Chains A and B, each alone.
Chain A
Amino acid sequence: MMRDAADTVTPGFQVDDPVALQQGFGQLLKQNRLAMIGLAVFVVFFCIALLGLGLTSGRNPTFDPSVVRLQEKLRPPLSKPNLETLSTEDVPRLGVYLFGTDDLGRDVFARMLQGAWVSLTVGFVAVGISVFIGIFMGGIAGYFGQRHTFIDTLIMRFVDIMLCFPSFFLILTVVALLPASMYNIMIIIGLTSWMGTTRFVRAEFLSLREQDFVTAARALGVSNFRIIFRHMIPNAIAPVLVSATIGIASAILTEAGLSFLGFGVPPPHATWGGILSDGKRFIFDAPWLTFAPGFAILIVVLSFNLFGEGLRDILNPKLRERQG
Chain B
Amino acid sequence: MRFVHSTTRPSRKREDTVLSFIGRSVIQKTITLFFVSIVSFLIIHLAPGEPSQVDPLNPKFTPEMVERFRKEFHLDEPLHIQYTYFYRDLLTGKTVSWKDNQSVLGKIWERFLNSLPLFIVGTIITWTLSFPVGIRSAIFRGGLYDRNATFFSYLLISIPGFFFAYILIIFVVTQFHVPVIGLKTFGIGDAAWPRLFMDRVWHLLLPSILGATGGIAILSRYVRSQMLEVEGQDYVRTARAKGVPEEQVHYKHALRNALLPFVTMFGLILPGLIGGSVIIESIFSWPGMGRMAFEAILARDYPVILTVNFISAVLVLAGTFVSDLLYLVVDPRIRL
Contacts and interface: CB of A to CB of B under 8 A. Distances in A.
B160 A257 contact: yes
Given A169-B309, A283-B166, A298-B163, A164 B279 contact: no
Interface string A265-296: 00000000100110010011001001001110
Contacts of A283: 166, 169-170
A157 B316 contact: no
B237 interface: yes
Nearest to A249: B158
Interface in B194-250: 232, 234, 237
Interface of A: 1-3, 34, 157, 160-161, 163-166, 168-170, 172-174, 176-179, 249, 253, 256-257, 260-261, 273, 276-277, 280, 283-284, 287, 290, 293-295, 297-298, 301-302, 305-306, 309
Given A178-B48, A297-B160, A305-B158, 10 more contacts: A34-B151, A166-B312, A172-B294, A178-B47, A257-B162, A280-B162, A283-B170, A290-B166, A293-B163, A298-B159
A141 to B, nearest CB: 17
Interface of B: 31-33, 35-36, 39-40, 43-44, 47-49, 150-151, 154-155, 157-163, 166-167, 169-170, 173-174, 232, 234, 237, 271, 274-275, 278-279, 282-283, 293-294, 297-298, 300, 305, 308-309, 312-313, 316-317
B158 A166 contact: no
A168 B160 CA distance: 14
The B contact surface, by secondary structure, is helix
B43 A174 contact: yes
Contacts of A2: 237
Contacts of B298: 176
Given A261-B278, A302-B154, A165 B40 contact: yes
Q: Give the 8 A-B CB pairs with smallest separation, nearest first.
A: A294-B163, A177-B47, A302-B158, A164-B313, A301-B158, A176-B297, A164-B36, A164-B316
B163 A306 contact: no
B154 A305 contact: yes
B170 A287 contact: yes
Nearest to B283: A280
Given A260-B162, A280-B166, A157 B279 contact: no
A161 B298 CA distance: 25
Contacts of A168: 278
A221 B316 CA distance: 45
20 contacts: A34-B150, A161-B32, A164-B32, A165-B312, A165-B313, A169-B309, A174-B47, A176-B297, A177-B48, A177-B49, A253-B160, A260-B162, A261-B278, A293-B163, A294-B160, A294-B167, A297-B160, A298-B158, A298-B160, A302-B154
A3 B233 CA distance: 10
